Amino acid sequence: MFKLPILDPRAAFVDVGSEQMHVSIAGGPPEVFGTVTSQLHALRDWLIAQGVRSVAMEATGVYWLPLYGVLESAGLQVVMVNGRQTRNLPGRKTDMKDCQWGATLHAHGLLRAGFVPPSYIRQLQDYMRLRDDHITMAASHVQHMQKALERMNVKLHDAISSLTGVSGLAVVRAILAGERDPGRLLALCDIQIQRKKAERVKESLRGTWADEHLFALAQALQSWEHYQGQIAACDERIAVLLSDSGGDGETGERVAIRGPRKGASENAPKIPHLRQMVTRLCGGKDLAVLPAHTEYGVLRLVAEVGTDLSKWKTEKHFTSWAGLAPGSDQSGKRRRSRRRQRNRVGRMFCVMARSLARSKDIALGGYYRRMAARRGASVANVALARKLAVLFWRVMVKGLDFVEHGLANYEVKVLQTKQRALQRLAKQLGQQVVPLPQPA
């Protein structure tokens, strides 16, 4: 009878909860600790006294983060695992049995460690996620402003591109200050709006000025401005963190930028020399030269995965972890693909891929349009997102020159494919393709 060997007889597992921590060593009798700081320190001291070197636990909400920091600072190896790896038999679900079963699996080496970024990346991640929350809340108050204007039958947000732009905010603040004349409100707008949309904007500003809706508009504007201040405070903290991290240990001097700056989005951090900071953090690799990669997008990706992507052995491991590649499901003769759930990084790459849908990029933009014509836009978006994730992994692991050569070769290959298709079509129609003369 085969007996599964025990690889670590002092391996421990912690069943994390909001009020209690259940701990077992190699499947032995559990110990129960509280979740306040003194109890977490007592748990750490007990593990060290028992000779434990490796501790596994599930990533349960945010409850695992304080314990992870305590154990990490004590020099213990902390293994974060997916809850699907520690499922017990049906009908045997208790916290006591869960920690014993997890400790047994960990002692036999049957748990695979998940990805946890280093501490300075986790700091950046916290700031970036908090900033994203503020952006979401600010967007909801823009909708509140639009609703208040609609209730007054003021269609300003339909006439101009952005209610929170310079012109939109100037008009809204003037309305709240008591201005009602459409001509004077139009004079506050940008000169291009006055020149091209004068009559439309003036007609959109004729409304019914009800006190209750003006009050709602004022509160929505105050809330939006409040969150803009919160976002600016986050930007200050992110700038300090990027300056202190230094990336590859260099000082705060600027690094070489290999291409022109791409258009920044409305929600991008207002940080001077952000691209240089992000490039230095990435070890001198300027990822903003890649298609669909802006300095803001690269910063968000680095805040999630860090700068050491060698933790994923291959690009296939990375795209699979991000949920951009289908899983395998085989049983006997039956083979089918299993859809993976995309994590935050996978969703970021999908958003980046959508920016290439109508781009003039011959290689990747053309790939999206060809795939969308055959399989649909959703499939094409995920397929292109996977290509962008592969480019990101290759730059961080193999270097920018390797990727730029690959993109150039891919573009040449796409052009050759188009030329062959054109010649084939011309032959079917009995025509001849004559190239245009090249200028001297």
Average pLDDT, integer, range 400-421: 78
**Cα angle 113, 119, 124; round to 5:** 115
Give the model's confidence band at 251: pLDDT under 50 very low, under 70 low, under 90 confident, else very high. very low
* pLDDT in the model for residue 363: 79
* Kind plus residue range of the DSSP H or E element containing 16: strand 12-16
Where do the structural domains in the chain lie, given as residue ranges? 12-107, 121-245, 308-329+336-415
Contacts 24+ apart (CB under 8 A), 151-156: 151/210, 151/213, 151/216, 152/207, 152/208, 152/209, 152/210, 152/213, 152/214, 152/217, 153/207, 153/208, 154/204, 154/205, 154/206, 154/207, 155/203, 155/204, 156/201, 156/204, 156/205
Question: pTM (2 decimals)?
Answer: 0.85
Give the model's confidence band at 433: pLDDT under 50 very low, under 70 low, under 90 confident, else very high. confident
Give the model's confidence band at 227: pLDDT under 50 very low, under 70 low, under 90 confident, else very high. very high
Share of the chain above pLDDT 70, in %: 92
- Please report, for residues 99, 172, 219, the alpha-carbon distance to residue 405 in angstroms, rounded to integers and kept in the order given: 50, 51, 54
* pLDDT in the model for residue 255: 64
* CATH T-level topology, domain 121-245: Helix Hairpins (1.10.287)
For the cut 90, the answer to whether the pLDDT of residue 345 exceeds it is yes
Cα–Cα distance for residue pair 383/389, rounded to 1 Å: 10
Nearest by Cα to 298 from 324, 321, 264: 264
Per-residue model confidence as pLDDT tens digits over 387-408: 999 999 999 998 888 777 777 7
For the cut 50, the answer to whether the pLDDT of residue 248 exceeds it is no
Per-residue model confidence as pLDDT tens digits over 121-131: 999 999 999 99
Cα–Cα distance for residue pair 162/403, rounded to 1 Å: 37
Per-residue model confidence as pLDDT tens digits over 126-154: 999 999 999 999 999 999 999 999 999 99
Contacts 24+ apart (CB under 8 A), 403-409: 403/290, 404/289, 407/290, 407/291, 407/363
Higher pLDDT, 264 or 226: 226
Per-residue model confidence as pLDDT tens digits over 50-67: 999 999 998 888 899 999
* pLDDT in the model for residue 425: 86
Cα–Cα distance for residue pair 52/49, rounded to 1 Å: 8
* CATH T-level topology, domain 12-107: Nucleotidyltransferase; domain 5 (3.30.420)
